[in-house]
Amino acid sequence: MDAASDFSFSGLTPDLIANALASVGVDPMSGLLALNSYENRVYQFVADDQKRYVAKFYRPARWSNEQILEEHAFTAELLEEDVPAVAPLILDGATLHHFEGYRFSVFPSVGGRAVEPGDVDQLERIGRQIGRLHAVARQGEFKHRKHLTADDHVSASLVTLKETSLIPENLQSAFWAIAEPLSEQLMHVDFSGFDQQRLHGDCHIGNMLLRDDLLTFVDFDDAMTGPAVQDLWMMLAGDDRQQRWQQLDALVSGYEEFCDFDERETQLIELLRGFRIIHYMAWLARRWEDAAFQRAFPWFAEQRYWEQQVLALKEQFAALQEAPLELRPNFNF
């Protein structure tokens, strides 16, 4: 397991948080409301200026200072170009702060409601926003953030899953009988033939907020370099192929108002879905000793979850044997 998985946030007490904020001139006047964030620790509060803010305390050893600052610079760049995104505040001349072994940042609190999954009309609008984000992203490059690779998302994940004791003994054979051939296929993915650019990295509907007719990007914690479709495919919902084509068509139609889209990248969609399935299981396994994960994902250690994962892996393997989703398929309507 990585060093970040062994770290305990037990020392992050309300007093320490308040003192950390005070060290950069922020005075919380309300209690600290813990928000849904498991990788880091995130708290909302009202300050003495009567405005709401969010303090984010980073999990140590996960990202370097340079990687975090590069994420911050990217969000600031987006705001400068009027792309709605949540960027950290500059306090005492910096966006990343240090206090008693913790690193933290302070953000404005942005409210809003979640976007409805699969809504074709909404997807065209989302495509425009992602297109605007990518138009800015293509103007520069990351030097410290990770690249999207099979080694990181699949190979490293398999090592974790091999080491975990959470997969029930009676499902080990069935699990690996499908996990290994699926992973073997995923490991042969070659991104070198596709343009690489800066990405949000974890661009799904949960990381977009709708308020006052404005779509805002949040949580750039997984910002990375990779093909553009990584920021698009997670917006597709459902299993019906025709329905997903309609969603993709709407998404790309909006996207291309601001950015060209390489249609060859549609062949990566199911491969990237496979990446995410395997990486997500390994992520939970790495963090399982963190009590916050056990409270939030109690089903992860249950027999039923792993039975469902065996089925999900089989379905994903079958999906990879089908022709890739196309923007102009021959459906008979």
The predicted model gives 64-83 an average pLDDT of: 97
Instruction: Choose among 195, 96, 203: nearest CA to 147.
Output: 195
CATH architecture classification, 118-319: Orthogonal Bundle (1.10)
* pLDDT at res. 116: 81
d(CA 57, CA 12): 9
d(CA 281, CA 300): 9
Residue 56 CB partners (closer than 8 Å, separation 6+): 37, 40, 41, 42, 88, 104, 105, 106, 107
DSSP element (H, E) containing 280: helix 269-286
231 given a catalytic annotation:
no
* pLDDT at res. 238: 82
Q: Confidence class of residue 227 from pLDDT cuts 50, 70 and 90? A: very high
Percent of all residues in the chain with a pLDDT value above 70, rounded to a whole number: 96
332 annotated to a ligand binding site? no
d(CA 295, CA 288): 10
d(CA 333, CA 33): 50
Q: Is the pTM of this model over 0.85?
A: yes
| Digit-coded pLDDT (tens) for 310-327 | 999 999 999 999 988 777
List the domain boundaries for the chain.
Answer: 1-108, 118-319
Record: fold of 1-108: Phosphorylase Kinase; domain 1 (3.30.200)
151 given a catalytic annotation:
no
What is the CA 190 to chain-centroid distance, rounded? 21
The sign of the torsion formed by the CA atoms of 67, 22, 45, 214 equals negative
| Digit-coded pLDDT (tens) for 32-42 | 999 988 899 99
Same fold, 1-108 and 118-319: no
Ramachandran quadrant class, 131 (left: phi over 0; alpha: psi -120 to 50; beta: rest): alpha
DSSP element (H, E) containing 98: strand 97-99
| Digit-coded pLDDT (tens) for 244-282 | 889 999 999 999 999 999 999 999 999 999 999 999 999
Q: Of residues 219, 221, 222, 231, which has the active-site annotation?
A: 219
